């Protein structure tokens, strides 16, 4: 977490919208846990997966697959940390990762 993000995270913890991981799990890959995720927004084609995080398949197919899997894992974590409610939104065309729930074919 950057120093510029720290006040926002501390405010979210104080408000109860983000909770710290259980004792003993810190520094084991766990991050802050979203208490109530009202929205995971911006899950649009061209944004998720983040283009700069995924090597083009024609350049390096195995690296492309690893990058795509990593980006999908990040979305999965964001969505599965919600305890009470979740709304996923996008602008324009939804991310190809949402094809199973939107009924649209990935591009």
pLDDT in tens, 71-107: 999 898 888 877 677 888 888 999 999 998 888 776 6
Q: Can you tell me the distance from the alpha carbon of 18 to that of 67, in angstroms, rounded to the nearest whole number?
A: 27
Mind listing the domains of the chain with CATH numbers?
Answer: 1-35 (no CATH), 38-107 (3.30.160.800)
Q: How many CA atoms lie within 13 A of 92 on its CB side?
A: 10
Hey, what are 102's tokens? 């939107």
Distances in Å between the alpha carbon of 105 and those of 32, 75, 98?
33, 18, 9
Note the pLDDT tens digit of each residue in 44-74: 998 999 989 999 999 999 999 999 999 999 8
> What is the rounded distance in angstroms from the CA atom of residue 16 to the CA atom of residue 6?
15
pLDDT at position 28 is: 47
Whole-prediction pTM: 0.62
């Amino acid at each position: 977490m950057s120093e510029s993000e720290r006040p926002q995270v501390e405010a979210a913890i104080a408000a109860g919208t983000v909770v710290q991981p259980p004792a003993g799990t810190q520094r084991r890959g766990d991050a802050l846990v979203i208490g109530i995720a009202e929205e995971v927004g911006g899950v649009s084609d061209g944004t998720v997966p983040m283009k700069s995080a995924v090597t083009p398949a024609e350049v390096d197919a195995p690296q492309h697959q690893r990058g795509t899997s990593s980006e999908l894992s990040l979305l999965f974590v964001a969505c599965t940390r919600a305890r009470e409610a979740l709304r996923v939104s996008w602008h324009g065309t939804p991310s190809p990762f949402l094809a199973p729930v939107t009924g649209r074919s990935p591009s």
